[in-house]
Amino acid sequence: MKNKQKRYFGTDGIRGTVGKFPITPDFMLKLGWAAGKVFSREGNGRNKILIGKDTRISGYMFEAALEAGVTAAGVDINLTGPMPTPAIAYLTRTLRAQAGIVISASHNAFEDNGIKFFSSEGTKLADDIELAIEDLLSEDMSTVTPQSLGKATRINDAAGRYIEFCKSTVGSSLKFNGLKIVVDCAHGSTYHIAPAVFEELGAKVTAIGVSPDGLNINEQSGSTSPESLAAAVVEQQADLGIAFDGDGDRVIMVDHLGSIVDGDEILYVMARDRRRQSIDFGGVVGTAMSNLGLELALDALDVPFTRTRVGDRYVLQEMLERRWNLGGESSGHIICLDKISTGDGIVSALQALAAVVHCDQPLSDLRSKMRKLPQSMVNVKVAHGTQIGDNEAVKNAVSDVESKLGKNGRVLLRPSGTEPVLRVMVEGEDLEAVDRLAQELSDLVAAEVGSPA
């Protein structure tokens, strides 16, 4: 079964445009039923599945459809309402549910939606479970007997439970008294959670992006558009800013100067703080896109670093295999495995804030100890399935560019997972040289394997 190709599940669940298959109410009804049937095999006695969502308007429709499907399979439901994705991972584990379902399209605009699943341990589903769900989707849907139907219950204290968990990840003695911060919740699922977490730990909080209307999630706000946060930090003369994406699993920060601090820099700040405190965290897992500056800065701290394919699923797999506790992506998807089982924007922000307090230095000083190297990326249109590994001209050109860059530079050719393009990335110490070499290399790649526009 492991070699079988998945039809619906991608690297991060199922996602697409609302109203276009499979992001339709009838598909979600069947998906809920299939998931209920699969997870009912996993538990003993009465089974239950936790369902949460972000703030996009289509969440109401899909919540109702999933609820009908799951209960038709004879499985109970706990509904949380709008909650961050990592909160569902946490609550699934602590409430002893067979699985958790999140209705969210993460950092996408409101026109999209999707489904993410968590196992009973609060981790992403194994491939065989996803394949088992997909197998049932091809069968006719049947309903259990009336006396065996599942029941739906709303968890009224879900937000409070998660707020207390987040606070517990930094220890009872740590306080953020005196820190003035701006928090941007992207009109998403952290809007009623994140400001409370930082306020209860003593910070003076100005909250923006906390007025969701179902249509404005991620709209010119949050971790994918941190410019408004940067302006607010400077205007408020705050110590720093924190931006989450719509479902709360990513975080990007801003220092008091209004400069954006990305996931690579946040990882470095956290790793440096743990090293200073002699906390054993193994090493740091990044991806092929992680800035070379992170690798060099960690090497200076004598902290091991390794790269995986792009995607938090692969980061987590590598962390588990190596038994390391820190990993993430420059996009701000950071995993602190000693704190929670998945990427969590609030928990990651708390670890970075803890470093600011421990060091008694502004974020601008802490991030300056890692020097990001300039990156230039050019997309080259190619036909689906294009392979470049055997192209001698491309291989020779890459080797030539790498020799020009030296040890503080690198080249990455990576096919996009979502569109027919090859991403040509060059990284080095000199921005002008990096831009020029990236353009020259992409021109050659286009001539060799590119497809007509």
Show me where the domains of the chain are located.
14-156, 162-368, 375-449
**Residue 306, pLDDT score:** 98
User: Structure tokens of 39?
Assistant: 């997870």
Find, among 27, 26, 79, the residue nearest to 48 by Cα. 79
Query: For domain 14-156, is the CATH number 3.40.1400.10?
Result: no
What pTM, to 2 d.p., does this model score? Answer: 0.93
343's CB contacts (< 8 A; 6+ apart) are 86, 249, 250, 312, 328, 333, 334, 335
Are 14-156 and 162-368 equal in CATH topology? yes
pLDDT (tens digit per residue) in 203-214:
999 999 999 999
User: Structure tokens of 113?
Assistant: 């939606």
pLDDT (tens digit per residue) in 109-162:
999 999 999 999 999 899 999 999 999 999 999 999 999 999 999 999 999 999
Q: Taking residues 81-86, report their average pLDDT.
A: 98
Distance CA 261, CA 265 (A): 6
CB atoms within 10 A of CB 151: 11
User: Structure tokens of 296?
Assistant: 């060099």
CB atoms within 10 A of CB 52: 31
Q: Is the dihedral of CA 169, 175, 181, 183 positive or negative?
A: positive
Distance CA 93, CA 50 (A): 10
Q: Which residue has the higher pLDDT, 64 or 451?
A: 64
**Mean pLDDT over the full length of the chain:** 94
pLDDT (tens digit per residue) in 243-262:
999 999 999 999 999 999 99
Task: Answer yes or no: is pLDDT of 385 > 90.
Answer: no
Q: Which residue has the higher pLDDT, 195 or 10?
A: 195
Distance CA 211, CA 214 (A): 9
What CATH topology corresponds to 375-449?
TATA-Binding Protein (3.30.310)
**Residue 1, pLDDT score:** 47
How confident is residue 216, by pLDDT bands cut at 50, 70 and 90?
very high
Distance CA 33, CA 207 (A): 39
How confident is residue 427, by pLDDT bands cut at 50, 70 and 90?
very high
Is residue 425 within 8 A of residue 437, CB to CB? The reply is no
Please report the beta strands in 300-349, taking only residues with DSSP state E, as ranges in sequence order.
305-308, 326-328, 334-336
Give catalytic residue positions: 106
Query: For domain 162-368, is the CATH number 3.90.180.10?
Result: no
